[in-house]
Amino acid sequence: MPVHFPNLSRRRFLGAAGAGVLLFGAGFVDADEHGVDPDLVYLLNDTHIGEKHPADSPVPSHLRQVVAELVERKQKPACVLINGDLALKDGQPGDYRHFAKLIQPLHEAGIELHLTLGNHDHRDVFYEVLQDERPETPVVDSRHISVVETPRANLFLLDSLQKTMVTQGTLGEQQLTWLATALDGHRNKPAMIVTHHNSRLGGDPLHFPGGLIDSQELWDVIGPRKWVKAFFHGHIHDRSNAEHEGIHIINTPATSYVADATKSTTGWTTGRFSDEGVTLTTHTTDPQHAWNGQSQVLQWRAS
């Protein structure tokens, strides 16, 4: 059974410098009236939601808890991004139906929501269940991509799902060609690249084998374009920051589980954009964890 949500994302399909871009606006004019901070974005990833998720499952789910926290916060963000691995293992229909129930309070609260796909997702099943996510005219065939505009940043949400249950990700030549043209049509603000998979450049070499196969090809596109300032990813269920060619590589915590609880924890991240950079704050599902409330300010590279 497909799931439909209220039309809160104000989708519109436009052409940008010759490339189709699915744009999402954050309602900047009415921001104060509706209690929205247009420079604030909430970042989640790796929710791993299953249709049947027993309490003793080795893959815990904290999405219900996190959504409740987000809805209760006094100030609304410009949007919430959930960056891939929405489904538990291999993208079953029941996974997405249960995921839809858990995120329903965000829609009811009028909070704009955007989703990307990871290696535990199944693109066709995702579209079958969450039919409102399927674009009428895809900007790139077989890829779920969009651009989110905020007053101080444009976020390019890419699709790094190569194949369900294949750890490595890829963007592909067609998506990279689209990205180059779309970036050239959006020089007016700092650009953020968002994919589920980690880069194989910068960061922790331990996780490079499971990351983006075409990381160098991506950097060939974004490196010379000085208005690209940051690359956001999940996938490795940890928290870290790195840099390559002046572009920040930002790994945000998983919402579901971690490989080693002595080194990492679960949670979500707020990103507050300014003209000069971003302030990242970690919010952990365990309120007593040392990371909870920690903030870091990252400055953009010179244009």
The string of pLDDT tens digits covering residues 126-161 is 999 999 999 988 899 999 999 999 999 999 999 999
> What is the average pLDDT across 187-216?
96
Neighbours of 152 (CB within 10 A): 16
The model's pLDDT over 31-82, given as tens digits with 9 standing for 90+, comes to 456 689 999 999 999 999 998 766 656 677 899 999 999 999 988 999 999 9
Q: What is the pLDDT of residue 54?
A: 60
* Rounded Cα distance, 64 and 33, in Å: 28
> Above pLDDT 70, what percent of the chain?
87
- d(CA 121, CA 195) in angstroms, rounded, equals 13
Grouping H, G, I as helix, E, B as strand and the rest as coil, residue 147 is: strand
Q: Give per-residue pLDDT as tens, 217-247.
A: 999 999 999 999 999 999 999 999 999 999 9
Give the residue-averaged pLDDT of 292-298: 98
| Overall average pLDDT of the 112-123 stretch | 98
The whole-angstrom distance between residue 267's C-alpha and the CA centroid of its chain comes to 14
The answer to whether the CB of 24 falls within 8 A of the CB of 217 is no
Residues 6+ apart with CB under 8 A from 43: 81, 83, 232, 252, 268, 269, 270, 271
Fold of 11-299: Purple Acid Phosphatase; chain A, domain 2 (3.60.21)
Name which of 3-17, 21-35, 89-103, 177-191 the model is least confident about: 3-17
Q: How confident is the model at residue 98 (pLDDT cuts 50, 70, 90)?
A: very high
Retrieve residue 294's tokens.
């920690």
For residue 150, the cross-strand partners are 153
- The whole-number pLDDT of residue 61 equals 82
Q: Residue 276 — very low, low, confident or very high, per pLDDT cuts 50/70/90? A: very high
Query: Alpha carbon 274 to chain centroid distance?
Result: 19
CA distance 221 to 160: 16
Average pLDDT of the segment spanning 207-223: 98
Question: Average pLDDT over the chain, rounded to whole?
Answer: 90
C-alpha angle 168-124-77 in degrees, rounded to nearest 5: 80
What are the beta bridge partners of residue 15? 20
Q: Which residues, in sequence order, are bridge partners of residue 168? A: none
Q: What angle do CA 132, 140, 42 make, to 5 degrees?
A: 55
Share of the chain above pLDDT 90, in %: 81
Taking alpha carbons only, the member of 159, 147, 157 closest to residue 118 is: 159
pLDDT at 4 (0 to 100): 63
Q: Are 293 and 281 in contact (CB under 8 A)?
A: yes
Q: Is residue 16 within 8 Å of 186, Cβ to Cβ? A: yes
